[in-house]
Structure 1
Amino acid sequence: MDFPGSNDITYNLLKKSLDATSLRHNAITNNISNINTKNYKANRVKFEEELKKALNKDEIKLNATNKRHFGISSKLDNIKPRTVKDKKTAMSSDGNNVDIDLEMTNLAANQIKYNALIQQTNKKLRNFSYIINGGR
C-alpha cells in the first residue's frame, strides 16, 4: 500500500532534497577526512542545478494516471542528486584540492538546509495526518 502522500509533488521534492543533503553531508565529510590525501579531488553534489533546469522547462503537466483521477507527472521524477569530482578548484602542491574553510562552510550551510527541509517535511506529514484523520 502506498503512503497517502506518495504522489504529492511537494512531498516527493522534499524527499529528494533530503536525499541530496544526506549525500552532500557524506561528500563533505569524506572531503574533510581526505584533506591530507595526495592527489585527492573533492567531491561535490549536483542537485539544485538540475532541479532548477527542470522547473524552468515548463515540463510539469497534468496527466491522467487513472481514468478516474488526475495526478501531476513531470520530469522531476528523474532528478536525483549525484556526486561529481571537483576538477575546477585549484590544487595544492600535492594535487589535493580540498579547502578546509570551504568544506566547513559547506557543512554548516548543508546542516541549515537539512534542518529547514526536516521542518517542512514534518509540516507536510502533519497535514497528511490531519487529512487521514478527517480533520481531527
Structure 2
Amino acid sequence: MDIYGLMKMGLDATELRNRTIANNIVNINTPNYKRKYVTFEDSLKNEMDNAKIEVKVDKDSVVREDGNNVDLESEKVNQAAASLQYNAIVSLTNTKLSMTKSVISGR
C-alpha cells in the first residue's frame, strides 16, 4: 500500500471512529444499547496490505441495569483522541503533498 492510500485509510478510520463515538453518546440512555468501536490499527499492524476498517460491538464491558454499556467519560476521551489523530493525519498529508509539490516544481 502506498503512503497516500495509507493516509486516506487513516482519515477514513478516524472519521468513522468519530461518527461511531457520537452515535454511542447519542444512545447513552437507550436501554440494551451496546457501545460500538472502530478497529483499524490492529488490522494494519497484522497485515498492512489487507488492513480493513471495521465497526465492532463491545459485548465485554460492564453493563448498567438497563443493559446499556456506554460510559460518557470514556467516550469523551476517545472522541478527543480521535480528533487529535485526525488532525495529525491531515497535517502529515499536507506536509507530504507540500514536499511532493516542491520536488515537482524543483524548489
- TM-score of the pair, normalised by structure 2: 0.93
Counterpart of 1:54 in structure 2 is: 47
Counterpart of 2:29 in structure 1 is: 36
Counterpart of 1:102 in structure 2 is: 74
- Where do 5+ consecutive residues of structure 2 fail to align? none
Q: How many residues align?
A: 107
Structure with greater proportional helix content: 2
Cα shift readout 1:49-77 (whole Å, capped 9, x = no counterpart): 0111125xxxxxxxxxxxxxxxxxxxx2x
Q: Secondary structure at the match of 2:31?
A: coil
Aligned residues with identical type, % of pairs:
46
Q: Secondary structure at the match of 2:56?
A: strand
* Counterpart Cα distance in 1 of 2:35 and 2:104: 45
Counterpart of 2:96 in structure 1 is: 124
Structure with greater proportional strand content: 1
- Where do 5+ consecutive residues of structure 1 fail to align? 1-7, 56-75
Larger radius of gyration: 1
- TM-score of the pair, normalised by structure 1: 0.74
Counterpart of 2:3 in structure 1 is: 10
